[in-house]
Every structure is written in structure tokens, then in C-alpha cells.
Structure 1
Amino acid sequence: MACISTALIVGGSIAGMNAAIALAQQGVTVDVVELSHEALGASLAFSGRAAMALVELGIYDEVYATGRPDLPGNTAVSIRSAATGEILNPGPARPTWPGAVPGVGVFRPTFLAVAQAHAERLGVRIRKGVTYETIEEDADGVTVTFTDGETGRYDLLVGAEGIRSKLREKVFPDAPAPKFAGQLSIRWMVPGEPVPDEGWYASPAGRLGFYYLPGAGTYVPSVINIPEPRWYSQDEVRAIFTGLLDTMQAPAIRELRARLTDSSELIGRQFEWILLEDRWYKGRILLIGDAAHATSAHMGMGGGMALEDAVVLGQEIGGAATLPEALAQFMERRYERVKLVVETSVRLGQLEQERAPHSENVALLTKAFSKLGTPY
């Protein structure tokens, strides 16, 4: 029997929506508030234990059916020649074990639609365009007023607002701000038929990879070193991305370059990271996902860590005698695992900026993936 009866989740993205599922599975009455009306983004990839988290949440089969079931794997991380497209390095192997399910890549809005529908089937109440206005905590619960005029009282409040979490600023005013990681990420969803020779390509200007997602198009992420953090206009993002494409002559990259138009939508974001030390909760308020441990995309594990947070939270709420015990055990299971992902991702970005041999990158990834293959 769960140690709480009610929970509010602020933020309805990967961590929040799946935490709602995990808590509802334990019999908890869950409300979710999310400011955004529409899910945005490009691709998500779940492999290893993160794919097993999808199984535990009860959504693996639907995600598998709507996504790309052979990702992520060596196809997604193969290093190819920027001049010819020839495979130079197949990339580090992902961990596996008896009973493991295949990894899967999926269009982010599709994934969130699947998760939301499943949460609603479990009785979760989801309100879009709404967030909290005031929060008052006492020994017995948390009273919340919302921007739509409603008031609610809960046993647990979960903050899953992402790296810019306002709840983190409120609950942990001394927490560090997100740190700049020295690189710019530019992502693009390319319409049309698949482009051959999927994988990663690199030149002195940066690196770029791509793979096809059914029903969504070809997902193209790229990473470029930049000297300092600043806002980039859409014109600047387009110029940087076009310049990167123009440094590569492989046939697949030339095909991508031909599909780039003035109306192509590019998402440019500088890489930042944050890791709250010690613990991510205070009283009856807990932070999960990017609100507590945002990272760069170098390992492709940010979404996976959010899923694991959700599953472990549900397990601990369902198995512990009291809320303090559940939150303490949650931290015991999550902190070192998440720290490994954050610190490894930051170091991988540093190796790229230092132009270290690719073998150092592969060795670091292989070591981290091996540890992440153990149960969460």
C-alpha cells in the first residue's frame, strides 16, 4: 500500500507525466499541471534500463510500435567519414542482459501523447495551461493555489519543470544556476524519405548525425563548440548549421543540404547542465528529471534518467512505510547513477572541445554504459 494518497506533479513532460503513471499504478490520486498546451521537440532515444522502465510503466509496446525499434544502437552512433560516408568506427556497444528489450527512438510529441493517454487511463487528472500560484506546506500536507483559481491539497508535490525550474528556485534558493557546457546544439526534423548512411559525421566545424523516425522524418542533431554562452537568433543558428553542412562532402550530407530551405525549422540551444548535490527534496516537495539533474545530450540518456526517476519514485512510494523513508530511499537509488550520467556527459563535451582522440570518447562511454547496465 502506498505511503501517500495524493500527489501533485508540476510539469507534464517526460519526468512528470511518467511519474504520474508510476504513482497512479500504486493507487495514488495524481494531478498534473503543465503550462504548455502543445508538446514540442524532436527525438528521444531509450535504451538499456531506460527501455526496461518503459516496460514497467506499461507503455513499451506502444512506444515500440510508434517509434524506431532498432535505435539507439551502433547505427545511431557509428562514426562516418565526412568526405565519403564510409564507417570509420562502429561506436561503443550498449549494455545488454538476458531479458533485455530492444532500445527505441521516438518522436518526442508522439511519446508524450502515448504517456499522457496512459496516465489518463489510470485516472490522472491533467490540466494544460495551468501552474501553481502559491504553495503552503505544513506537517500534514501541501496546499496549492493554481493560476486557474483552483485550490488543492496534497501529500506530495513533485517538481518536474525542467532545467529552468521555478520550484527549484523556491525550494532550494541556494542551489547553483545551470552551467554552460561550451557547445551549441542545433536540431532539425527533416521531412521526406529516409536518408541513407545514418550515423555521425565530424569536421573541424563540429559534428552532425541523423536517423529516420517513422511518421516524423529524419532527425538531425548537431553539436558545435562555442566560446561563451549567449542567445542566438534564428538567422545565426541557420548560418552556423549551414556552415557545418558545407564542411562535409559525404553523399548523405549533401542530400541533407539540398533539403535545407529558408523555411526549415531549426532548434538551437546551448548545452547546459545542473546537478543538485545531496538531496532533491525538502519536506514534502521533491524535484525530479531536469529540474534536479539536467545534462547535455552526449550520452543520449537525459530522457532515460527522467524515466528511471519516475519508476523508482513509484516503487518507493509503493513500498515504504512513510514518505520520509520513501524519499530517502529514492535518493539512495538515484543520486550516484544520475551523477555518472551528468559528469560523463560534461566530460565528453570537454573532450570534444579539447579535440581529444575519438578513442578517449569511446572508452569513457563504454565504461559508463557498462555501469548503467546494472539495475536501477
Structure 2
Amino acid sequence: MACASTALIVGGGIAGLSAAVALARVGVQCDVVELADASGGASLALSGRATEALDELGVYDACHARSTPFAAGTTASHQRDAQGRLISEGPQRPQWPGAKTPLGIHRPVLLEILEEAAQRLGAKVYRGVTTQTTVEDDDGVSVAMTDGHHGRYDFVVAADGIGSRTRSRVFPEAPKPSYAGQFSFRWMLSGPPIDGEGWYIGPEGRLGFYHLPQDLIYVPAVIDLPEGAWLTDKDTLAHFARLLDSYTAPAVVELRRRLTPDADLIARPFEWILLAAPWHRGRTLLIGDAAHATTAHMGMGGGMAIEDAVVLAQCVATTTTPAQAFDAFMERRYTRVATVVETSVAMSRLEQEGAPTSRNMALASDAFKALAQPY
């Protein structure tokens, strides 16, 4: 029997909705509040044990049906130079009996699947709403919401992202997120597939692409930019076009041909944070990017958020108090997510230093070996 019966989840992204599903499956009634009225974003890859976490949530099959599976032999992690010549087949990713196939999935699709699963299990999702005041006592947490309604919960899960207001309130001494020295560009492109998916490394930065269902192509890219850079839509298009122009690989030339002034481009600084343990104070626990946001160099940020949710539910189901559950959660999560954050930031620094690709692949391979262990 779970050590709690009610929980408030602040944030309706990947971490928050995964937590709602996982906790509901062990008997916890969850309310989820999310300021955004609708979900957005580009695509993400889910690999390693994260796909097992999806399966534990009961949504892997639904995700698989609406994603791009990265079966054995895929070129999605291959590294090529600006001319398209193969540099590396990518980091070594250990396999184990029964391992689930990695997936590339459109973020809004994943959130839709998770929200539907949460609601089927009885969770309530409130959009355009967040917490206003929180008062904790020995028996629980009383919360007033920005839409005027009130709730009483056994504990609160803060899954409100890298800019977490809950983190600022509960951990006022916590550091601010750090800029890694690079910008992430993401382009969701409609149209027929292009041969040669994988990663390309050139003088202006690196980019990759893979296909998604419904004639979508996801193109992530990374370039170095000084701290404090701020990009308008015009700046974003100019930087991205310059990056594409620096390649002669046929696949990238075709991507450049399809780039138009109204392209669906998202540019964000790569920021990261690894909150010192523990990530809980009183009856509030931080998970996902609120506690351990990372750059995307390992492609494991979303996967770590889903794992957080599953492990939290396991701990809630096997302990007698929320405090014990939170302690057990920290024992299992800190080292694992630190591996992802620290390795990703180190890979970012090596890229900026112009280090050989082999050094980054070695770092990533060592980290993937550690992450192959069960969560």
C-alpha cells in the first residue's frame, strides 16, 4: 500500500505527466497544474532504460505506434563530416536481454499519450493554473491555486522545469542554471524523407536529422555563441542558414534547399543545473529539469525525467512515509542523473574546444555503460 493517497504535481510536461501516471498506478490520486494552455516543442529521443520506464507506465506501445523506432543498424547516431564522410558510428550503447527499441517521438505526441493515460487513471489536469500559496504542516500541504480553488495533499512534486519557481521558493539558496556556451536550434520540417539521417559536424557547428511519422523531419543543431546572446526570429534564421551553408554533404544541401523564411525554428541557450542532494524539503520533492536540467549532448534529459517518475512511484509504494520515500528516491537517482548532466556538459566543452569527435564518443560510451544498469 502506498505511503500517501494524494499528491499535487506542479508542471504538466514530461516529468509531471509521467509522475501522474506512475503515482496513479500505485494508488495515489494526483492533481496536475500547468501554466501553459497547450503543449508544444520539437522531438526527443528515448533510449536505454527510459524505454523500460515507458513500458512500466503502460504507454510504450502507444508511443512506439506514433514514433520512429531506432532499430539495430540505424544511422541516427552516426557522425559525419561536412562533406558527408563517416567519422564514427556513434557512442557504444550496451544492450541487454529484452531491451526495448529506442524511439524518436514528437514531444506533443508524447505529452498527449501521457496526459490521456493519467486521466484514464483518475488524475486531474488543470491548464493555465499554478500554485499561489503553499502551507505545510505535520499532516500535509494546503495549496491555493491561481484560479481560486484550494487543495489538500500528502506531498507536492515540483516538475516545473529548469526555471522552476518551486525550486526558487523551496530552495532559495540554490544556484541559477548555468549557460554551457552553446545554443540549441530545432527545426520541425514537413515533407518527404531525406536519405542520410544522422549527425554532421562542420566548421560552424553540428546538426542531425531523423524522420518522424506524418511526413515530419526533426533537425536539431548546436552552435557556439557567447554568453548573454539573444536571438530574434531573424537572427535565428540567419544563424541556421549559415550553419547549413557550411556543409556540402548532399543530405544537408537538401535541407538547405527546403529552408524557408517561415521555417518552424526554435532557438534556446543550452543551460544546465544539478541541484545538490537532497532535492526535497519538507513534503515537496523536485524531479526532472527542476532538479537536474542538462544539455542535450547525450539525448537523455527526457529519459531521466521519465525514470524519475517511475522510481518515485516505486518508492512511494514501498515505504511508510513520504519522507522515507523521498530519501529512497534520492539514493537511487542522484548518481544516475549526475552522470548524464556532468557527461553532457563535458561533451559541450569538448565541442567548443574543437576536440576530436572520438573523445566525445568515448565519454558518451562510458556514460551509456553506467546507464545500462537498471534504475
Tell whether 2:58 aligns with 1:64.
no
- Return the alpha-carbon distance in structure 1 between the equivalents of residues 211 and 36 of structure 2: 27
| Deviation of 1:254 (Å) | 1.0
1:182–1:229 Cα contact (<8 Å) kept: no
1:62-98 C-alpha deviation (Å, 9 max, x unpaired): 0000001126975221012322x23231111222101
Please show how residues 108-127 of structure 1 align to structure 2 within 5 Å: 108-127=107-126
- Return the alpha-carbon distance in structure 1 between the equivalents of residues 7 and 288 of structure 2: 17
- Return the alpha-carbon distance in structure 1 between the equivalents of residues 296 and 280 of structure 2: 25
- Return the alpha-carbon distance in structure 2 between the equivalents of residues 140 and 261 of structure 1: 57
- Return the alpha-carbon distance in structure 2 between the equivalents of residues 270 and 216 of structure 1: 28
Tell whether 2:239 aligns with 1:240.
yes
- Runs of 4+ in structure 1 displaced over 6 angstroms? none
1:47–1:72 Cα contact (<8 Å) kept: no
Tell whether 2:374 aligns with 1:375.
yes
- Return the alpha-carbon distance in structure 2 between the equivalents of residues 10 and 277 of structure 1: 20
Please show how residues 104-253 of structure 1 align to structure 2 within 5 Å: 104-215=103-214, 217-253=216-252
1:35 is aligned to 35
Q: How many residues align?
A: 375
1:305-326 C-alpha deviation (Å, 9 max, x unpaired): 0000000000000111111111
2:141–2:155 Cα contact (<8 Å) kept: yes
| Deviation of 1:229 (Å) | 2.6
2:356 is aligned to 357
Tell whether 2:108 aligns with 1:99.
no
The one-letter amino acid of 1:135's match is: T
TM-score normalised over the length of structure 2: 0.98
2:273 is aligned to 274
Please show how residues 38-53 of structure 1 align to structure 2 within 5 Å: 38-53=38-53
1:334 is aligned to 333
1:62–1:114 Cα contact (<8 Å) kept: yes
State percent identity of aligned pairs. Answer: 56
2:180–2:270 Cα contact (<8 Å) kept: yes
1:270-306 C-alpha deviation (Å, 9 max, x unpaired): 1000010121000100110000000000000000000
1:212–1:219 Cα contact (<8 Å) kept: yes
Residue aligned with 2:194, SS: coil
The one-letter amino acid of 1:217's match is: L
2:130–2:146 Cα contact (<8 Å) kept: yes
1:199-235 C-alpha deviation (Å, 9 max, x unpaired): 1111111001000011261000000011223221111
Distance 1:215 1:105, change over 3 A: same
2:80 is aligned to 80
Unaligned runs of 5+ in 1: none
Residue aligned with 2:315, SS: helix
The one-letter amino acid of 1:56's match is: E
TM-score normalised over the length of structure 1: 0.98
- Return the alpha-carbon distance in structure 2 between the equivalents of residues 25 and 180 of structure 1: 37
2:205–2:224 Cα contact (<8 Å) kept: yes
Please show how residues 255-334 of structure 1 align to structure 2 within 5 Å: 255-334=254-333
Distance 1:177 1:211, change over 3 A: same
1:12-43 C-alpha deviation (Å, 9 max, x unpaired): 10000000001000111110011111111111
Distance 1:71 1:127, change over 3 A: farther
The one-letter amino acid of 1:66's match is: R
- Return the alpha-carbon distance in structure 2 between the equivalents of residues 266 and 19 of structure 1: 29
